Chains A and B, each alone.
Chain A
Amino acid sequence: MGVKTVLLVEDDELIGKLLVFILQRDGYQVEWLKDGQQAQELVLSGRDFSAVVLDLMLPFFDGLFLLELIRNQAAMASVPVLILTSKMGEEDIALALKKGADDYLVKPFQPPELSARLRRLIGKQG
């Protein structure tokens, strides 16, 4: 079975590096994009990923827009999406889940919790 690839969309340099470190440590290959525009192009290209870790506040296009885009793309419609953001309002969480996010984690986060949640999401997908 091949190495699973996770798409990471995170604009903060240090958090991005930390997430790459965590995900690679967990055995995933990581494609890290730092803004909404790059992510939009990649999503539209039709590439397949095992999961997406998505920030909500991003340059150019925000995470919710990307989430909708992912859900409307045949190739990615069923890919699990985990939102990792500092937005902790009830409404933000409810909206992201309503738009199709599979899980939601608030920063500051616990790295082992992120690993466990992602593993569960990818496992569910089969």
Chain B
Amino acid sequence: MSDTHSDVIVQLVWYSSAVLLLMTLMLLLLTLFMHYERRQREKSRQQATEQWTPILFSWIYSPEQTTGPLPQLNAEGFGFVVQLWLQLEQTVRGSASTRLAELAQRLDLIPVMKQWLHGYSTDKKLTAIMALGIVQEKSAFAELLPHVLDKRTIFSLVAARALLSIDAKLGLPVILSQIYRDDWSVSRVAGLLVRLPHDLMVRSVTECAEKATAKELRRLIKLMHILSPIDSQPLIQQALTQYPDEMELLTTAFASAVSPDLLPLLRQQVEHPQWEVRVQLAKALARLGDSSDAPLLLNMLSDPNWWVRYRAAQSLISLPGVDEAQLQLWQQQLTDPFALAILLQVKEEQQRQHQGRT
């Protein structure tokens, strides 16, 4: 009975070992195969790069000299050449870029890119979006549109760039409709829009602002402030009248104000319940205000919030035409000890800074 039992155990161990050995061998073979595949792929990439780099470079200057038959490409080689072409397209501009786009036509790139756009490979899809944008393929506009709405940031931004490149007039409203997206930094969006015709950009942003929520309007003001500060002023005016209780929007609006025309509206916020807004008002008055703002700023020296008092004192001292005699006069007139203390503190800080510089 015990001998039979031992035989079964020995048999089990033997079979298990055999299975394990077989699996190890299979894994080893698979690893070797993958290694071989990788080396072959790298070799193909190198061959394609060596063969095609000079062709692409020459094409930049004189496509007419390269109109002979281009070297044959298999599917893998085609992928490498497309990558190379794309890199080069992002390196040069002007006539060089136009000539490279002509080469794309010769390579029959567009139908392949459209296939890649609808395929499963993420890399190929991204490449296709970029390539179709670069060659400004109008027939791809509708197919690229859904990619702007993609939740993946990189896809949506690359697609946005492609749409603008193909048709800025049609693409811009689509892109601005996504301005609420937190994953799209305003500076990145500004980077997309910076080379567009100024009038088109201003008109589209202004139209988009008309129906914008407070959050969208805040981002549109930031965007316009980067691209054209003076054109952000109507949006600031809209923010102050349409959303007087939206603190984040108002602080952005105050920080972006560059036109003294906005002063009457800005001054109205002196009693705003949120101190962050009143601080921004004090700072804006330093940039845009004049001597007529002195009474307002003197009042703000008695604000319950320390930061408001501090910024108001700084702004008061920096107002045009304010000299030591004027400051002395105000000091004597101030009855609120907090107001007097903050004015003296800021005055002393400025004197120290001045001494440090000289």
Contacts and interface: CB of A to CB of B under 8 A. Distances in A.
Nearest to A21: B57
B122 interface: no
Contact of A107 (B54, B57, B91, B96): B91
B94 A113 contact: yes
A110 B95 contact: yes
Contacts of A113: 94
A107 B91 CA distance: 6
A111 B92 CA distance: 7
A109 B93 CA distance: 6
A108 B57 contact: no
Contacts of A15: 91
Nearest to B89: A108
A111 B87 contact: no
A112 interface: yes
Name B's interface SS.
helix
A53 to B, nearest CB: 14
Nearest to B54: A21
Given A18-B57, A18-B88, A108 B93 contact: yes
Interface string B39-57: 0000000000000011001
Given A17-B53, A21-B57, A110 B96 contact: yes
A123 to B, nearest CB: 21
Given A14-B84, A17-B53, A25-B61, A112 B95 contact: yes
Interface string B303-335: 000000000000000000000000000000000
A120 to B, nearest CB: 18
Contacts of B88: 14, 18
Contacts of A21: 54, 57
B97 interface: yes
B57 A109 contact: no
B75 to A, nearest CB: 22
B45 to A, nearest CB: 13
A94 B126 CA distance: 35
Contacts of B92: 18, 108-111
Interface of B: 53-54, 57, 60-61, 84, 87-88, 90-97
28 contacts: A14-B53, A14-B84, A14-B87, A14-B88, A14-B91, A15-B91, A17-B53, A17-B57, A18-B57, A18-B88, A18-B91, A18-B92, A21-B54, A25-B61, A107-B91, A108-B90, A108-B92, A108-B93, A109-B91, A109-B93, A110-B93, A110-B95, A110-B96, A111-B61, A111-B96, A112-B94, A112-B96, A113-B94
Ranked nearest first, the 7 interchain pairs of A and B with the lowest CB-CB distance are A110-B94, A108-B93, A21-B57, A14-B87, A111-B96, A15-B91, A108-B92
